[in-house]
Amino acid sequence: MDGFQWETAEEINMRMAERVRNIRKRRKISQEELSVLSGVSHGSIKRFENTGMISLLSLTKLAVALDFTEQINNMFSKVSYRSIQEVINENK
């Protein structure tokens, strides 16, 4: 492992929610409008922005509606190998 992870899962989710909220606001889209555009309930959007809690499917729907699907598609695509054993395991 490269180092210690000092952030909790909840902190990571909150930072992600803040980024999504910033994109929404930058595009001048209200939570209600985003709900209509994405098919994600207004309550789920509000909860996500306040707590960081959201399902993966709902997050993906928000990404489609806000046009940042490339970032979702690239998630986990460039994860470094932690050991030579991982390289061997991948090729089995």
CATH code where residue 58 lies: 1.10.260.40
Q: No. of H helices and E strands in the chain? A: 6, 0
- The answer to the question of residue 4 being in a domain is no
- Distance in angstroms (rounded) separating the CA atoms of residues 36 and 89: 44
Per-residue model confidence as pLDDT tens digits over 14-64: 999 999 999 999 999 999 999 999 999 999 999 999 999 999 999 999 999
3-class secondary-structure state, position 80: coil
Whether 29 is covered by a domain: the verdict is yes
The tally of domains found in the chain comes to: 1
Token pair 């050991």 is found at 83
How many whole angstroms separate alpha carbon 86 and alpha carbon 77? Answer: 15
Say what the pLDDT of residue 90 is.
85
Residue ranges making up the domain that contains 45 = 9-90
* Entry pTM: 0.82
Asked if residue 48 belongs to a domain, the reply is yes
| 45 assigned to some structural domain | yes
Structural domain contains residue 2: no
